[in-house]
Structure 1
């Protein structure tokens, strides 16, 4: 053992260590300084950054034995408090940098060292610094972080005060402003606990889980031998499929009756077969993580390896066996059938183009790996705390599978370090639920980054074949499609995802005649999970590039080609589903975007002109239109409650799950806008959120539905309360007056999208969404001609989200989506199971991969008739189509038409 004396946040601490621990483990486990986060555990993400003797140090890869005695160590807990934020922490809050907040402490500690050594950095120097110190953020798109450092530097130089940075409401109004998130200060001071932090507060008898996972992609299980592992130190129980009390399946809740599967194809613990790499075969429950992992390695699994079908074409081959015996590998089909038969139109049209495109298996790559814990609560309920973004949905998906009655299961959302949709799938919930049921003890399971990347769902790849026909003037006459979605081995929401292709291929364009067929294919690659944009990136990867190809063929400017064909009320335009859009805003949106497009063209032309003869680079501009609907198809609904408290505050209850997008500020703002008429200020509104034991079913936080559905439900609950409080003279009753008059104090707000309808199963015609969002992407790219390397040097996005509810949140959502769109277009993939197993190898963008020159324009003159206060959502529209815009810009720069992503240098060069 080694005695270490360290100066931690100014206090001398004596520690006895064995020397093998990392500095991060010592800080977190021994000193409970959990503001230091462990994300990748490999020094790739910077979440663990602390300061050691004045230097930024990645504590997850720094052995405590290498830290000198009396080293001065600073962590996020030591530089500011909730009542006295450091200027960097204040700037982080003011600029909305702490979205999920998991990476914030590492960035702030990194920036502190920069400003101590360089009090007046340039924006480029700040980016270079974060790049050098491997600081990664998946939420913000980086620019807000640079803004925050520049502002904090001004405060430290005495040019501003911290108070100057913070937004202060006027006339008690926060709707549409830069009002800070309620969670902001806790996130930037390290006081906001995530799942791995909460595990440290569990009882001493908590069992730690290690998974025995498949290392092949397809196999029959011949036997599982746990005998040696059971004898190993600390092991309390090894659980296999035989021990699962329930059906041992997660139900995919089959959405559409034409699905050829039954939705019960996903084992909690594999019994007969392995369906993909990483599948859980057994759980070792032990006293420590180390003991559990050691025993997991000793479990022997006898496998008969089967052919693995790693793409849709392989699984569709005539000689491919059924991955789920009895269910064909192509198990769902949707057809968008609108207007007249397209075949004769294609035959006679003067202009026809056809595009084959591929949208990749994009990994979500949150910096926080998946985590959960479970126990039996005081009411005898199995209680699971996880990153779930659909707590009531997941309740329904796992009850029968783990073997508990619905009233005996409770799910609580942890503070989540980003999910971007992967937590629509309740994998870890089912595992921990089974483990606590079987052992009768609290249990915890914390994935490492390798498990996070290899065992959680991914964006389902899309194989797109799109044909367009246009007349001699460029008016689109017809669209045909034949598309395949590779959804991996599990069917959950695969049909719903594929239906999105019937809703978004051709969306935004006035196309009277469509025949678009899309099929869902079962494969042995990573299972398909919800991912921000959900079906739109695949749709626009095919459809938008086809628009660009047609414009090029006809010699029409690609921007004007889209503008001339967009939805127009004067032409009675309808969506691919044959319904009118919520608003006809696109003509105005293209008018708003046109000068920005021309400015980008001039900028690229100037950059090209400044190249020397046979210059190294070529610059080009791109355009695309992305659209997304807000809701879960058809008559979606949500519920929220508002209660007047004895201290004359109001508590809002809802299950608006937060994966970094800002459910707290969304709930607060929707409530406050109604309650402020009775004089309520934001500090007098309390939030109770995301616990099936305490909060109503607001629906999952997916499909960009929450701001519309849960926002409306929250608004309605507050309106009911306000109506009850209102007196005849226009003043408002207090709590005591309400009690004295026998008036109810708690009101249930419900909102239902009654104007919507399910799409017809044969034609996909109907009205699936009450509200849509619209985004025009305008990137400028630089292509290095010798290598094919592409860099986005500027990105303009012109969007219509209806009324802006919170400006910081919307800015952050759009900039984060642009960054993910750049990653999707140029670098991100999860294809090679041997290679794509780290954040870096999956191609996650670092600060210097994303431009500082990001321009956001909002159109607000088309309030949504069915949106709360006129608002739509804003999370997914910005990621619907930035990637085809980037590919279109590559074509504009070089004449090379890339139709497969990621467009890595070798692809572009070829």
Structure 2
């Protein structure tokens, strides 16, 4: 044992320690200063940054034994309070930097040191500082963080006040403004607890879980021996499939009847087989994490290895065995059949192009690893707290599997440090549910980053074969496709994802004749999970590049080729599924984008001229069109409640799960826009969210549906309350008057997309979405000709999301999507199970990998008829197609056509050498 005396936030603390701890562990475990976060645990992400003796210190890799006595340590809790924010904290809130908020403390502490040493930094110096200190953010795209530091510096220099930073409503209106999200201040002061923070404060009898996980991708389980593990120190119980009270399966809730599986293919704990690397085989429940992990290493699993099919083509080989016996590896097919037969058109059209493309297994890479805990509550319910973004959906998916009646299962969403869609699938909910049922104790499971990366779902790779025909003038006549989705071993939502290819290949373009086949394939690689864009990145990777190839073949400017072929009301254009779009906004959007495109082209030409013919770099301006629908197909719905309180406030209840996108400010703004007619201010609206025991089924926070579906439900609930409060003379009843007149105080708002229909199972024709979003992507890239290294130096995105509900949120969503799109195009992958196991090796974008020169242009003159206050969603459209735009820009720069991602330097260099 060692004694350490440390000065923590100005207070001298004497600590007796084992001496092996990290500084982060001491701060979090011993002092409960949980504003210091542990993300990667390897010094790669900066979430753990604190200040020690005036220097930025990555506390997760700093051993306490190396820390001197009387070291002066500052944490986020010590630099500002809820009532008196540090200028950096105030700027973080004002610029919407705290989206999920997990990385915010680390960035703020890092920035504090920068400004103490450089009171007037340039934007480049701020980026370089964050890059050098390995500060990672997956949400914001970095630009708002740079903006915040620059404004905080002005405050510290006395050029403006903190109050000048904050938006202040006028005329009691916040819709369309930069009004700060309710959670912002707690996030920037370290007071917003995430799952790992809450676990620190659980009862003493809480058992910590360590998983025994598969280290192979496909095998038969012959025997599981837990005897040695059961006798290890601190072990309470080793749980295997034999202990699971229920079906020991997570149901995939098969979406379409043409699916050849039954959806019950994913075990909670593997019993007969291992289906992918990282599958859970057993759980050790012990008094400490260290004891649980030590015991987990003693569980012996006897396996018989089977062939591992790590891609769709491998699993489709005629000699491949069925991964799930009785279900073919190709288990779902959807065909988009629109208009006339395309074969004769392809034979006679004067212009035909054909491409193959591949969209990769992109990892989600949130900075917060997966985490959950569970217990039996005072009503006898198994209560699970997790990062779920579909608490009612997951309730249905795990109930039978863990063996409880529906009324005895309660799911509550933790404050989530980003998910980007991976939590649309249940990950560890069933595991902690089983553990608390079996042991009778509270239990907790907190992944490290290796488990996070290797165990959770990924974007399903798409193998696209697209053929396009156009007439002599460049009018697109027909599209053919033959596509594969590699969905990994578990079928949940695989059919729904593949249906997206029928809905989005060719979306935004007026294509009268389509024959497009898409199939879902079971493999042994990482299971497919929802990822921002959900099917659109695969679709546009094929469809949009084919448009670019056709424009090049015909000698037509690629921007103008898309503009001339976009949806037009005059042509009565229809979507690939045969229905009219919600609004005909694309002609106006291309007109709005045109000068920005030409400015980008001129800028790229200027940069090339400065380089000379044999310069080190070549620059090019690209373009793509991305479209996304808001909803879960067909007649989607959502529910919310509004209740008038005795203190003359209103409480809104909904299950709009937040994973950083701003469900709190979305709920508040939709409610306030209706309630303000009765004089309610934002401060008079309370939010109760995301607890199946307290809040209604608003549907999952995926498919960019929440702003439309739940926004409408909140609006309807508030309208019902307002209508009840309204008197004949136009004034409004008080709470006391409502009670006196025996009028209800609580109202149920439900909104249903009744205008939608399911897509036909044979042709995919139908009207699946009530609202769409549209984005034109305009990047400029720099290609280093000697190495093939590509850098995006500028990005302009021109978007139509209907009415903007909160501008800071929309800006943040678009900027974050651009950063993720750059990663998708150039660096990010999860293919090699030995290599792609850290944030860095998966290719995540650091600050200098994303340009500071980003333009966001919004068109708002096409309000959505069915969107709340005219709004669409905004989360997924911006990640539908930035990657093909970047690849198209590489072509414009060099003449090398890249159709597979990520476009790593060696890939680009090979294409350059082949010219």
TMscore range, shorter length:
over 0.9
- Post-superposition offset of 1:342: 0.1
Structure 1 residue aligned with 2:877: 877
Alignment of 1:815-894 (within 5 A): 815-894=815-894
Q: Give me the whole-angstrom Cα distance separating, in 1, the residues matched to 2:724 and 2:507.
A: 44
CA distance in 2, matches of 1:896, 1:729: 71
1:80 — aligned with what? 80
Look up the match of 1:756.
756
Deviation track 1:816-875 (CA, whole Å, cap 9, x = no partner) reads 000000000000000000000000000000000000000000000000000000000000
- Please name the residue that 2:441 is paired with: 441
The equivalent of 1:326 in structure 2 is 326
Shift of 1:512: 0.3
Q: For each residue in 1:589-616, what CA deviation from the matched residue of structure 2 results, as whole angstroms up to 9, or x when unmatched?
A: 0000000000000000000000145100
Cα deviation digits, residues 768-826 of structure 1 (max 9, x gap): 00000000000000000000000000000000000000000000000000000000000
Structure 1, residues 263-291: CA drift from partner, whole Å, max 9, x if none? 00000000000000000000000000000
* Structure 1 outlier segments of 4+, above 2 Å: none
Q: 1:613 and 1:841 mapped to 2: Cα distance? A: 35
The residue number in structure 1 matching 2:409 is 409
Give the secondary structure class of the aligned counterpart of 1:485.
strand
Q: TM-score, structure 2 length as denominator?
A: 0.99
Deviation readout 1:651-689 (Å, 9 max, x if unpaired): 000000000000000000000000000000000000000
Deviations 1:345-374 (A, max 9, x none): 000000000010000000000000000000
Aligned positions of 1:187-586 closer than 5 A: 187-586=187-586
Instruction: Report what 2:715 is aligned to.
Output: 715
Structure 1: distance between partners of 2:745 and 2:61? 54
Q: How many residues are paired up? A: 910
Structure 2 CA distance, aligned partners of 1:686 and 1:145?
Answer: 28
| Per-residue Cα deviation, 1:465-524 (whole angstroms, up to 9, x for no partner) | 000000000000000000000000000000000000000000000000000000000000
| Preserved contact between residue 432 and residue 445 of structure 1 (Cα < 8 Å) | yes
SS in 2 for 1:610: helix
**Deviation per residue, 1:362-394 (Å, 9 max, x gap):** 000000000000000010000000000000000
Secondary structure of the residue aligned to 1:774 is strand
Q: Tell me the distance in 2 between the aligned counterparts of 1:638 and 1:336.
A: 28
Deviation digits for residues 613-645 of structure 1, max 9, x if unmatched? 510000000000000000000000000000000
Shift of 1:425: 1.0
* CA distance in structure 1 between the aligned counterparts of 2:16 and 2:148, rounded to whole angstroms: 39
Gaps of 5+ in 2: 911-915
Task: For residue 451 of structure 1, give the secondary structure of its aligned residue in structure 2.
Answer: helix
Report the Cα offset of residue 201 of structure 1.
1.1
Q: For residue 26 of structure 1, what is the aligned residue in structure 2?
A: 26
Secondary structure at the counterpart of residue 120 of structure 2: coil
Superposition pairs of residues 159-178 of structure 1, within 5 angstroms = 159-178=159-178
* TM-score, length-scaled by structure 1: 1.00
Secondary structure of the 2:423 match is: helix
What value does the CA root-mean-square deviation take over the aligned residues?
0.3
Tell me the CA shift for residue 427 of structure 1: 2.0
Say which SS state the counterpart of residue 427 (structure 1) adopts.
Answer: coil
Segments of structure 1 that go 5 or more residues without pairing to the other structure are none
Post-superposition Cα deviations, 1:127-157, rounded to whole Å, max 9, x if no partner, equal: 0000000000000000000000000000000
Q: Is the partner of 2:539 in helix, strand or coil?
A: helix
Report the Cα distance in structure 1 between the residues aligned to 2:823 and 2:104, rounded to whole angstroms: 21
User: 1:660 aligns to what?
Assistant: 660
**3-state SS of 1:187 partner:** helix
8 Å contact from structure 1 (residues 254, 262) kept in 2: yes
Distance 1:413 1:444 in 2: 15
C-alpha separation between the residues in 1 aligned to 2:700 and 2:535? 17
- Corresponding residue of 1:156: 156
Distance 1:712 1:567 in 2: 27
1:601 matched residue in structure 2: 601
> Could you tell me how far apart the structure 2 residues matched to 1:361 and 1:426 are?
19
Match of 1:186 in 2: 186
Give 2:913's aligned residue: none
Quote the residue 1:784 is aligned against.
Answer: 784
Distance in 1 between the 2:20 and 2:348 partners? 74
Find the aligned partners of 1:218 and 1:248 in 2 and give their Cα distance. Answer: 19
Structure 1 CA distance for aligned equivalents of residues 399 and 845 of structure 2:
38
Partner deviation per Cα, 1:303-336 (whole Å, 9 max, x = no partner): 0001100000000001000000000000000000
Once the two structures are superposed, residues 434-490 of structure 1 have per-residue CA deviations (whole angstroms, 9 ceiling, x without a partner) of 000000110000000000000000000000000000000000000000000000000
Q: Distance in 2 between matches of 1:622 and 1:300?
A: 54
Q: Contact 1:268 / 1:427 at 8 angstroms: preserved in 2?
A: no
Q: Describe the superposition over 1:108-139 as per-residue Cα deviations: whole angstroms up to 9, x where unpaired.
A: 00000000000000000000000000000000
Task: Tell me whether 1:634 sits opposite 2:634 in the alignment.
Answer: yes
